[in-house]
Each structure stands twice: as C-alpha cells, then as structure tokens.
Amino acid sequence: MCGKPLLTLSYAFGEQLGQYSGRIKSTAELDEMQSNFGEYLVRVVEVCTSCRWNFMIRSFVLGDGVYRRPPRRQKTVEDIYG
C-alpha cells in the first residue's frame, strides 16, 4: 500500500439483483434496497485509487427474507454502443 487516503466502497451481490449485482451502492441505497429484495450480500472494501490496493473489511447479508424474481434485464450503455 502506498500510504495515500483510502476510499471505502460497498458492493451488492445477489441473484435477486439481476444485472445490477456487483455494483457499488451508497449506504442510503442499501437501506432502501433492504425492503425491496429478499436477500443480497454486501461486501465493504477499502481501495487506494493511486496504487489500486484493495482489501475487503467486512461482508454481511441484508434483505427482508421474501424471495423475488430478478428484475427484467434492461439495455445498458454497453448494449447500445458496444
């Protein structure tokens, strides 16, 4: 690690998130998602943007326990522009 300030990011993973699994979420978004998804995993990672060092500092499960089907896949910028 180079000693520069670290950035803390939260990633959300889960089958019920569909194509949105693996994306960075804010604390407010995680709170809102908790009542909209049955179960998803959150991994909190410290990242140095200079040297790209990263370390998972914690992992936990959120959700309301009610299974829901993943949302329909929507076109993304990558789908449209390649």
Task: Tell me, rounded to whole angstroms, the distance of Cα 14 from its chain centroid.
Answer: 9
Query: Where do the domains of the chain lie?
Result: 7-65
**Of 55, 47, 48, nearest in space to 4 by CA:** 48
pLDDT digits (tens, 9 = 90+) for 38-81: 999 999 999 998 998 999 999 999 999 998 888 777 777 777 78
Structure token pair of residue 31 = 């709170």
d(Cα 16, Cα 67) in Å, to the nearest integer? 8
* 46 bridge partner residues: 8, 55
Q: Report pTM.
A: 0.80
Structure token pair of residue 4 = 């520069």
pLDDT digits (tens, 9 = 90+) for 26-37: 999 999 999 999
